[in-house]
Amino acid sequence: MGNHHDTGRPVLSVRGLHVDYHLDPPVHAVRDLNLVLRRGEVLGIAGESGCGKSTLAYAVNRLLRPPAEVVAGSVVFHGADGHDTDVLALTGDALRSFRWRRIAMVFQGAMNALNPVLTIHTQLTDVLAAHEPGSRRRDRARRCAELLSLVGVHPDRARSYPHELSGGMRQRVMIAMALALNPDVLVMDEPTTALDVVVQRDILRELGRLRERFGFALVFITHDLSLLLEISDRIAIMYAGRVVEEGTATRLLTAPRHPYTTGLLGSFPSLTGPHQDLRGIPGQPPDLTQALAHCAFHDRCPHRRDVCAHQRPPLGPAPTTGDDPAPGGETHLVACHAWHPDRYGAPPPTPLRNGTFHPTHTAEGVDP
């Protein structure tokens, strides 16, 4: 699905985003987060549970509810016509017409997000009626059948209730609902977690086909880094509410630059490579009620030095080595002091410098 390195202009820019949960004490779930999504690309976002992935998705879609609140930063949608929209400033009708038409979302646990007492037809046509109140009932019914066909569900199933459909079919219905108004951006939050591997593959293949046809950009959020390596153009690794590494899927696999990324890569098995010992990442993520003025990964990092305990590393371009040019001139970003010998007090450690992971894993297998 991925590997269509579209260097087209951005469709969504997130700058300096902070999201807090106003609890006692407050939880700083997303902090100073920067991301750019380009038109038509697949951007994967990976990280452990609790790193802020879902909070980011809800913030971008303006779906946060109290006690969560965006306390700083900007989310800007760049229209194909050159018009920019300040997403965080939208209210009322403007927000309603923006949602689903420009950015749509498939929620975590989407299989259970359908209303159990309404038919699929009713739920799909309700979306159309809400956003296109002038549309005729007959046209909405036709569009409902079209949408189901698009995602590989027979239109006859429109008369079914959710409990009469398999998990995979319910997931497809949720994707159909998200695509009802031809959005520019589709955000998917852990969309295939509860599905078996075969159904997951089918749905990912279907998504790839739909993206080729309609050209939407896809933000795919999951804790499953091995899945993202197969389907993404670029991947952002989140830790403790921040992006700590971002680059092409190929480069992230073959030359990871952040110790947390190498830890994630070392924690899933290869189906095709030689036998290797799997190692988890020791320790626990930091307490997100704390300010974290230092590197958030410091306590778990095998390469930590004094600077890591006192200064937070900024996200910036990672240096390339002679045998590791950035493909297509893509910028690879990392937030790690080790890549700044003047701050770190030593050259980058050998495991980071060499890239611990080379393609013993396969990064193929979704598209024929």
- Give residue-wise pLDDT tens across range 107-165: 877 667 899 999 999 999 999 999 888 999 999 999 999 999 999 999 999 999 999 99
Q: Which of 132, 148, 179 is the last residue of a domain?
A: 179
Percent of the chain with pLDDT over 70: 88
> Is residue 81 one of the residues assigned to a domain?
yes
Strand bridging mode 316-317 / 333-334? antiparallel
Q: Which of 168, 79, 83, 175 is nearest to 124 (CA)?
A: 175
Q: What is the pLDDT of residue 365?
A: 31
Look up the domain containing 273 and give its range. 1-102+183-368
The pair phi, psi for residue 47, each rounded to 5°, is 160, 165
Q: What is the pLDDT of residue 141?
A: 96
- CB 41 within 8 Å of CB 303: no
Same domain, 133 and 194: no
- The angle formed by the CA atoms of residues 225, 321 and 300, to the nearest 5 degrees, is 45
d(CA 47, CA 98): 28
CATH number for the domain harbouring residue 240: 3.40.50.300
pTM here is 0.89
Structure tokens at 58: 């809800």
Q: Does 356 score more than 70 pLDDT?
A: no
In this prediction, what percent of the chain has a pLDDT beyond 90?
Answer: 68
Whole-number Cα distances in Å, 335 to 86, 104, 246:
27, 30, 9
Q: How far apart are CA 368 and CA 357, in angstroms?
A: 25
Instruction: Judge whether residue 311 has pLDDT over 90.
Output: yes
Model pLDDT, residue 246: 97
SS3 call for 95: helix
**Do 140 and 241 belong together in one domain?**
no
235 & 280 share domain: yes
Contacts 24+ apart (CB under 8 A), 300-304: 300/260, 300/263, 301/259, 301/260, 302/259, 303/259, 303/338, 303/349, 303/351, 303/352
Distance (Å) of CA 107 to CA 55, 163, 234, 246 = 12, 18, 21, 23
How far does Cα 123 stand from its chain's mean position?
A: 26
Instruction: Tell me, yes or no, whether 164 and 96 share the same domain.
Output: no
Give residue 110's pLDDT: 64
**Residues 98 and 216 occupy one common structural domain:** yes
What is the pLDDT, as a whole number, of residue 291?
Answer: 86
What pLDDT sits at residue 254?
87
Q: State residue 361's pLDDT score.
A: 35
**211 and 258 belong to one structural domain:** yes
In a domain, 109, yes or no: no
pLDDT (tens digit per residue) in 69-123: 999 999 999 999 999 999 999 999 999 889 989 999 998 776 678 999 999 999 9
Residue 362 predicted with pLDDT over 70 = no
Q: Which of 179, 196, 223 is the last residue of a domain?
A: 179
pLDDT digits (tens, 9 = 90+) for 237-290: 999 999 999 999 999 988 899 999 988 888 766 555 555 565 678 889 999 999
My answer on whether 188 and 172 are in the same domain is no
* H helical segments located in the chain: 53-60, 92-98, 120-131, 137-150, 167-178, 197-214, 225-231, 249-254, 259-265, 306-310, 341-344, 350-354
Question: What one-character DSSP code corresponds to residue 89?
Answer: G
Tell me the pLDDT of the chain averaged across its residues.
88
- Determine the pLDDT at residue 267: 76
Query: What's the mean pLDDT in 291-299?
Result: 93
The string of pLDDT tens digits covering residues 37-48 is 999 999 999 998
Q: Kindly state whether residue 205 falls inside one of the protein's structural domains.
A: yes
Residues 6+ apart with CB under 8 A from 181: 100, 101, 104, 127, 128, 131, 132
Of 142, 145, 195, nearest to 170 by C-alpha is 195
Tell me if 239 sits within 8 A of 288, measured CB to CB.
Answer: no
Q: Are residues 196 and 332 in the same domain?
A: yes
Residues 180, 128 contacting (CB under 8 angstroms): yes
Element of type H or E holding 77: strand 68-78
Query: Is pLDDT of 360 > 50?
Result: no
Q: Report the pLDDT value the prediction gives residue 111, as an integer from 0 to 100.
A: 66
- Does one domain contain both 350 and 209? yes
Is 141 in the same domain as 128? yes
Whose tokens are 């993520």? That residue is: 285
pLDDT in tens, 206-224: 999 999 999 999 999 998 8
In the structure encoding, which two tokens stand for residue 199, read together? 């159904």
Does residue 192 sit within a domain?
Answer: yes
Within 8 A by CB and 6+ apart from 114, the residues are 120, 123, 162, 170, 173, 174
Locate 201 and state its tokens: 């593959």
Is residue 107 one of the residues assigned to a domain? Answer: no
Q: What is the mean pLDDT of residues 318-346?
A: 79
Does residue 133 have a cis peptide bond before it, meaning omega lies within 30 degrees of 0?
Answer: no
45: in domain: yes
Boundary residue ending a domain (128, 144, 179): 179
Q: Which residues contact 97 (CB under 8 A, 6 or more apart)?
A: 131
Q: How confident is the model at residue 194 (pLDDT cuts 50, 70, 90)?
A: confident
| 156 and 206 housed in the same domain | no
pLDDT at 270: 57
Domain count, the chain: 2
pLDDT at 277: 62
- As a whole number, mean pLDDT of residues 189-212 equals 86
The pLDDT assigned to 109 comes to 73
Q: Helix, strand, coil proportions of the chain in percent (round to 5)?
A: 35, 20, 45
Shared domain check, 339 and 284: yes
